[in-house]
Amino acid sequence: MTPLPRPDDRPLTNIRVLDVASFVAAPMAAMWLADFGADVVKVEHPRGDMVRSWGSTKDGVPLFWKVLSRNKKSVTLDLHKPKGQALLKRLVEKADVLVENFRTGTMAAWGLDYPHLAEVNPRLVMLSITAFGQYGPYSHRAGFGTLAEAMSGYANVTGEPDGPPLLPGFPLADAVAGLCGAYEVMVALHERDTRTGRGQWIDLALYEPLMTMLGHQFIDYDQLGLVAERMGSRLPFAAPRNTFRTKDGRWIAISSSSQSVFERTCRAISRPDLITDVRFADNPARTRNHEVIDGILAEWIGAHTADDVLTVLNEAGAAAAPVYDVRDVFRDPHFEARQNIVTIPDAELGDVRMQNVAGRLSRTPGRIDHAGPRLGEHTATIYGHLLGLTEADLEALRREQVI
């Protein structure tokens, strides 16, 4: 039996998390906690989390899984079975946090809802991420991040004015909800450890964080009756802000929201006269005349190569950046210097590269110890060390397909 790893100096090493979720949002919340040292136990159905069958594979090994389940341990457990439910409760006794995203009512039907689990462990913080939350007219609907992106208002403002609403090419709502969920777990843990000593239940709907991130749109509608529309890459309150194609066919993103940056941009393209032009005198004026200023920039940028454009604008202190694809991200020297892409050894794939922990704590930084584990890789270790189950106990559970 492999011994449990010794604690390290990351800030969450005293926190144990049970990740009984699937797909992306709640598991991503657990990933953020694991990045900073939380002992995250991924509780999977013996068939495996469905994310193991998502996306690309190499030699049969799921690649997205390697990122989403990094730093986690994997145990198997069938929560549909009474013995599986009983075993989870024993794990809950030794946990600080449980994250789940079963359809509303599922955990209650198993006797694993928060009131029941809080009886087992009153200090437990439980995060439930569902499509529409635990109450309300839609609470029992099935749903994924796609529905959140549609109904939050995000898709309606994404795309070109004369085109259809666009959904993102990655699970945006799930990722944002995962980050928000991790934050709210930390809020609940702080309250528990500094005030009451008691855990609590976090009810988070997938659409809610994305709705919050849409910012001004809701108060604009409330106070002015304004309904945001698709504007391509423009913003309704800042100009110039757009993407522009260069002479050599690459794309450059420019933002000149502040007056000083706009003036630097004008001087960089040898058009200081634009600074005193009444059409561009300030940001509101430029917003009203966005087509004109965008046209001027498009003409200048279109006459130069991307390297020349970026050199001129960056040397002038303007705000410009190339539009990257993932290949560009991997070879960018700034990202390399900050180790935004890190190499992790993996028993199945050898070395793998993935996004590093976001943010740097000066004394207790996060890190990635290992990529996503094999299915059930830590079953014997966790059940043996934490719960005291013997190999005979485990074999009996395997025969009954509980683990």
CA 55, CA 18: separation in Å to the nearest integer? 25
Torsion of CA 146, 148, 153, 154, to 10 degrees: -50
> Do 149 and 213 form a contact (C-beta atoms < 8 A)?
no
DSSP string, 105-163: THHHHTT-SHHHHHHH-TT-EEEEEESS-SSSTTTT----HHHHHHHTSTGGGSS-TTS
Is 393 annotated in the active site? no
Three-state SS letters, 172-226 = HHHHHHHHHHHHHHHHHHHHHHHHHCCCCEEEEECHHHHHHHCCCHHHHHHHHCC
Look at the chain and count its residues.
Answer: 403
CA 42, CA 17: separation in Å to the nearest integer? 8
Of 64, 21, 11, 23, which Cα lies nearest the Cα of 44? 21
CA 11, CA 366: separation in Å to the nearest integer? 8
Local structure of residue 278 (DSSP, 8 states): G
Name the one residue in this structure whose structure tokens are 């270790």: 381
Pairing between β-strand 125-130 and β-strand 201-205 as defined by DSSP bridges? parallel
Return the structure tokens found at 11.
């800030």
> Do 386 and 88 form a contact (C-beta atoms < 8 A)?
no
- Burial environment of residue 82 by CB neighbours within 10 A (0 to 12, 13 to 18, 19 or more): exposed
Phi then psi dihedrals of residue 178, to 5 deg: -65, -45
Catalytic site residue from 19, 35, 174, 294 = 174
CA 56, CA 77: separation in Å to the nearest integer? 26
Q: Which residues are catalytic?
A: 174
